[in-house]
Amino acid sequence: MNGRAGRIRIIGGSLRNSRLDVPGLPGLRPTPERVRETLFNWLAPMIEGARVLDLCAGTGALGIEALSRGAAGACFVEPEAQAARALRDNLARLKAAGGEVAAIDARGFLHGAARPFDLVFLDPPFALDLWGALAQGLEQGGWLAEHAWVYLESPRDVAPAVPAVWSLHREGRAGEVRFALYRRALPLS
């Protein structure tokens, strides 16, 4: 889909089989359907009522999938104007309550006033190599609930450095992508 307009579908929950319009933008790389299916199988017990941050939203497929499956709300961070507009349009068309779009880059967003999230999707454009900086920003900035879950997507052979308090829960590979789910576990005082 990279650089081509199209549609992707929501695979589960109340919005199942709904289609998301995807603008044809260079570097836009929606998470493949089979990866989303695996991820949301992993997340099934923790989605209901979760506060979700889709930090490098792009199409917003991950955050919208979470809303479809019962998340209490989702904040979508997307700096590219056309992608942010398409995301707002998709949320409105689907009547996806609880979704808000912040049209700002991820690093700028993390410098704002923090609020803790239960689940964060961290899937920045691969070419920008932002995983480490964004992971540290999430951890140090107060953006994560005490036992938050963080989903991280990277190139197949790249396991980005993450904060020491994040422990790997599950990981997989599909095509050229590595996907991993981390659990934040603060040390006992």
DSSP character at residue 164: T
pTM summary value: 0.93
DSSP character at residue 30: P
pLDDT tens-digit profile of 15-29? 999 999 888 777 777
Within a domain: 1: no
The answer to whether 149 and 183 have CB atoms below 8 angstroms apart is yes
Within a domain: 140: yes
Domain that holds residue 28: 6-184
Positive or negative CA dihedral for 88, 89, 90, 91? positive
Instruction: Indicate which CATH number applies to the domain containing 120.
Output: 3.40.50.150
Within a domain: 18: yes
DSSP character at residue 167: E
Within a domain: 84: yes
Within a domain: 46: yes
DSSP character at residue 149: E
Spatial separation of the C-alpha atoms in residues 46 and 42, rounded to whole Å: 9
In the chain, how many domains are there? 1
pLDDT tens-digit profile of 72-121? 999 999 999 999 999 999 999 999 989 999 999 999 999 999 999 999 99
Within a domain: 89: yes
Within a domain: 189: no
